[in-house]
Structure 1
Amino acid sequence: MKGPRCVLANRLSEISYWNILLIEAGGDENALTDSPFLNIYTHTKEFDWGYNTTIQPRACRARQGQCNYPRGRVLGGSSTVNGLMYVRGNPYDFDNWEAMGNHGWSFKDVLPYFIKQENVSTTDLPRDVHGFNGPQSVQFQRHVSKIADYYYKAGEEFGFKFIDYNGLHQIGIGPAQVSMVGSTRASTAKGYLNPIRKRKNLHIVKHAEVMKLVFEENTLQEEKKRVLGVIFSHKGVKKYVEASKEVIISAGAINTPKLLMLSGIGPKNHLRGLGIPVIADLPVGNNLQDHLCVPVYMQVNKHIGIRDEEVFSRKAIMRYTKNKSGPLTTNGYEAIVFVNVFDPKSLLQNVEWYLTSFRMFVAENPANIKENVVAPIVINVNPSSIGTVRLNPLKPQGPPLIDTNYLGADEDMLILREGIRLLFDFFSTPTLASLKPQIYFKEFGNCVQFKNMIDQLIDCIITQYSATLYHPVGTAKMGPKSDLTSVVSPELIVHGFENLRVIDASIMPKITRGNTNAPTIMIAEKGADIIKFSYHTKSTY
């Protein structure tokens, strides 16, 4: 979940005579979440739900097949702990949503909400498709390493066009657009919530977990059921709060289906097996989609990136704390590439590269900090594999069973395989070849036996070292009621209910071809307007 709660709290509390209650399981951000580089160190109990996937037979094998699955447990949600990337996706993604029966969700319909959210701080981007006055700060990296010049020169040699990938076309290479303000993370808590916390009609309860929905009994047999309110736990005490108008679930693609199912909304056979009374038989928890990524560690012969020792040095820490400068102010993504590995002429990307300046995932293997290693990340942004979220029969209130079904579709393996092959070709361009790049086998110990067998090596790297890019979506799918695989309507109302909505990444019917933070904010912006329109209201603040 990428922080749509903060967006909704802001936009709905604009109606001064509406009382808005925001229930948040976590607490506030702090200095650790503020640093762009330290995002992987926020995956702790203080900020993260601590989830893992079920055993995946074809992915994450270096972790015995159980992929780490961070989800933000903090104000701002995963926008407070993610990699800061701001990527809208491809216009086709949203036109496809509409083609699936979701009227009002085409690119022309959602573009105004991307523009509305953005506060772009560079004049290098076109004003007709970008926003410059919104709450969500977007900018280019302030700290740029020397290797960035190598990447862009190699891109030119490789035939890539230089792009604004948040414009109308995505195929090519361009600088990372990040959710930052100056040298600090720009979460939705900072952009949307902090400026309006003192509104008298906005109430925030932190460190509180919603346990289940409470329904109006005399409506349970009717075509449109009503939710009365929610039961939540706050500091060990169960409490009940009643909604005067609506209950909006905005807990993300993992916790939203968990809450719905605990409340009796979900697949009837699954719920009955757990002894949960079925309120509504809906395909909640199905349609789980995510972006699987593979870091490709490469050692180069020049110190033109960021060494681990530089990031964790006293000098780097002092630079950051005193004047917000240095390597701690970057997420390390020097350039972004979008490409279709099957058809170079296609306008629809299926692979994204993060071209990095340092060795990613250093927290998991901090050795060899003085070597010149970079780790471009290859991402399948158009996966076909579909997974599920289910309650754990042993402890339904505990962490859910997250089966991502990574690489369940053969095409997903092929996309990653070709994405890595193309990356190797990219590193063979004259500019990058001058760095004498070599695969860094100290990070690929489980695959060293395939050192001289490129096909087997690539497959081994994918199955052993793949990981989530932290983009789960789709588990409360949006669609017309005639679509029996859908959970919510295009107005984001749960099918069969009058006053229950879901507004978060779980409603995406198909995952976007890029990072999901920006589309999730868009969903919340549009969702807030849908609610206001349904009550014929306008902002009074």
Structure 2
Amino acid sequence: MSAAADVLIVGAGSAGSILAERLSADPSRRVTVLEAGPDRRDVGIRALTDPAAVLPIGPDSPVVRRYPTALTGDPQRLAEIVRGCCLGGSGAVNGGYFCRPPAADFGHVGPGWSWADVEPHFRAVERRIAIRRVSEFTGPTADFLAAAGRAGFRWLPDLNADPGGDNTPPGLAAVPLNIGDGVRRGPGAVFLEPALDRPNLTALTGVRVTRLLLAGHRVAGVHAVGPHGPVRLHADRVVLCAGAVDTARLLLGSGIGPARDLADLGIPVVADLPVGQRFSDHPEWLLSTGWDAVGGHPVLEAVLVTDVLEVRPYTTGFGSASPNIGVALMRPRARGRLSLVSADPDIAPRIEHRYDSEPADVADLWRGADLVAEITRGATELGAAVWSTSQHLCGTAPIGEVVDPQCRVLGVDALSVVDGSILPTVPGRGPHATIAMLAHHAAEFF
């Protein structure tokens, strides 16, 4: 399909898009990026992904992939993880939330990942994407903000600034958004697409990687299925940017993971590493309201933040007639597990969030639901809390356990991981901005 690349990037989501643009800025380096989904430059795909007020994630969407998960164990509550599958990845289909995490999140990642190391990369990405905030609120956002104001919560000037002074939670804040004039402006659109006319950058869509091509303990490329059938693509270095689910699936299916689990499936072990053993995600309870949904607005315009919670007055109901209020736990203690059930790459992995495994997490969510009830009393009727997920799964291949601080997979030559897999824990805010930052930073390692 193409000549051997110096760097072969698997996945053209937010991380892969930024990494591909950054690395191909060197005209002597040949970069190929592979994407399982369609090309966002196609007029039909762009019509789905551009409008920021609509999430194109329905059951028949051609730009997402779905994975089953068990949110809780007792009783078992089943759900689906939805991930973008097109040029731009989840950044081309999500709600546009683009918020920095607290600086304290980077006190334990590893050498080269302090706040002083990463903050310039946050700024660099934000300048390119041009982050915006809603200044005039209507509908359920305005209703919730008014109720929270009456309950005594003040306005925080900047959710992207470190807490302190007037910016110290609890309080209300506008959500930083990668939306301009109603259009999603994610890393795929801003970084990757303008760079695709470079002669040393190739993007291949409709190419699904099934496993790594290995020569002993060295990666030489990938096995994939393209529009015309199975192919092998060669490269000097492979970088997995397929997201925390698919990156883990590819590592495990290629023999990189817990040795006992792999042996049980008949997968030859290349490196015994704890892939998928302790991921984290933000559990979320959804409470329906009696407010009217509004069209033409971002899905989430403002939030109430406390020390550990983010209360989200959504403008939509995610399948229900009325908007929901989400109560999300931003410092979860629970850890989930991702594992293979088969060596067949066409069979989805087993994902267990185990959100109910830590009683203190459940207690925090109850406190959040009680807080919402107190705030909205007299303003709207609330439905019962329903378990959900913020769709922020991270940490299936964490720095210090599966990759080194330069994102290189331990014990395997010529293989790196650059996406949310490498974060030791899910950040204290939604991870999109953090994933974009880490790709911008990781480009310095190649």
Asked if residue 421 in structure 1 is aligned to residue 367 in structure 2, the reply is no
Change (3 A) 1:394 1:178: same
**Cα contact 1:54–1:402 (8 A) shared by 2:** yes
Match of 2:387?
A: 466
Comparing 179-188 and 49-58, the one that deviates more: 49-58
**Cα contact 2:139–2:293 (8 A) shared by 1:** no
1:74: how far off? 1.0
Higher percent of residues as strand: 2
Asked if residue 237 in structure 1 is aligned to residue 229 in structure 2, the reply is yes
Match of 2:425?
A: 510
Asked if residue 336 in structure 1 is aligned to residue 285 in structure 2, the reply is no
Match of 1:76?
A: 88
**Cα contact 2:157–2:173 (8 A) shared by 1:** yes
Give the Cα–Cα distance (whole angstroms) in 1 for the partners of residues 139 and 389 of structure 2: 28
Give the Cα–Cα distance (whole angstroms) in 2 for the partners of residues 90 and 406 of structure 1: 23
Change (3 A) 1:43 1:10: farther
TM-score by length of 2: 0.90
Once the two structures are superposed, what CA deviation does each residue of 1:241-280 show, in whole Å capped at 9, x if it has no partner? 2113x11011111000110111111111111111111111
**Cα contact 2:281–2:353 (8 A) shared by 1:** yes
Give the Cα–Cα distance (whole angstroms) in 2 for the partners of residues 115 and 501 of structure 1: 24
Give the Cα–Cα distance (whole angstroms) in 1 for the partners of residues 284 and 311 of structure 2: 9
Give the Cα–Cα distance (whole angstroms) in 2 for the partners of residues 55 and 393 of structure 1: 21
SS of residue in 1 equivalent to 2:363:
helix
Match of 1:382?
A: 331
1:195: how far off? 1.0
**Cα contact 2:311–2:325 (8 A) shared by 1:** yes
TM-score by length of 1: 0.74
1:355 to 313, 336, 346: 313
SS of residue in 2 equivalent to 1:498:
coil
Match of 2:37?
A: 26
1:88: how far off? 1.2
Change (3 A) 1:72 1:160: same
Change (3 A) 1:410 1:162: same
Match of 1:253?
A: 244
- The one-letter amino acid paired with 2:338 is V
Change (3 A) 1:253 1:43: farther
- The one-letter amino acid paired with 1:505 is G
Asked if residue 141 in structure 1 is aligned to residue 98 in structure 2, the reply is no
The 5 A counterparts of 1:95-494 are 95-97=107-109, 102-119=110-127, 134=128, 136-141=129-134, 144-145=137-138, 147-157=140-150, 158-169=152-163, 171=169, 172-217=171-216, 225-244=217-236, 246-300=237-291, 306-307=293-294, 327-328=295-296, 330-340=297-307, 350-356=308-314, 358-362=315-319, 365-366=320-321, 373-393=322-342, 395-428=344-377, 433=378, 435=379, 437-440=380-383, 444=384, 461=385, 465-479=386-400, 486-494=401-409
- The one-letter amino acid paired with 2:313 is L
1:336: how far off? 1.1
Change (3 A) 1:21 1:228: same
- The one-letter amino acid paired with 1:104 is G
Asked if residue 9 in structure 1 is aligned to residue 9 in structure 2, the reply is no
Once the two structures are superposed, what CA deviation does each residue of 1:407-455 show, in whole Å capped at 9, x if it has no partner? 2111110111111111122224xxxx4x3x2224xxx5xxxxxxxxxxx
- The one-letter amino acid paired with 1:140 is R
2:73 to 25, 37, 57: 57
Change (3 A) 1:72 1:359: closer
1:32: how far off? 1.7
1:7: how far off? 0.6
SS of residue in 2 equivalent to 1:6:
helix
**Cα contact 2:36–2:206 (8 A) shared by 1:** yes
Give the Cα–Cα distance (whole angstroms) in 1 for the partners of residues 273 and 264 of structure 2: 15
Q: How well do the aligned residues superpose, as a CA RMSD in angstroms?
A: 2.1
**Cα contact 1:68–1:467 (8 A) shared by 2:** no
Q: What is the total number of aligned residue pairs between the two structures?
A: 424
Give the Cα–Cα distance (whole angstroms) in 1 for the partners of residues 88 and 205 of structure 2: 12
Structure index of larger Rg:
1
Residue segments in structure 2 that go unaligned for 5+ positions in a row: 1-10, 41-45
- The one-letter amino acid paired with 2:223 is I
SS of residue in 2 equivalent to 1:50:
strand
Give the Cα–Cα distance (whole angstroms) in 1 for the partners of residues 388 and 142 of structure 2: 28
SS of residue in 2 equivalent to 1:39:
coil
Change (3 A) 1:193 1:143: farther
1:198: how far off? 0.2
Change (3 A) 1:44 1:385: farther
Once the two structures are superposed, what CA deviation does each residue of 1:210-244 show, in whole Å capped at 9, x if it has no partner? 11112223xxxxxxx42111111102411112113
Q: Percent identity, aligned pairs only?
A: 27
**Cα contact 1:229–1:247 (8 A) shared by 2:** yes
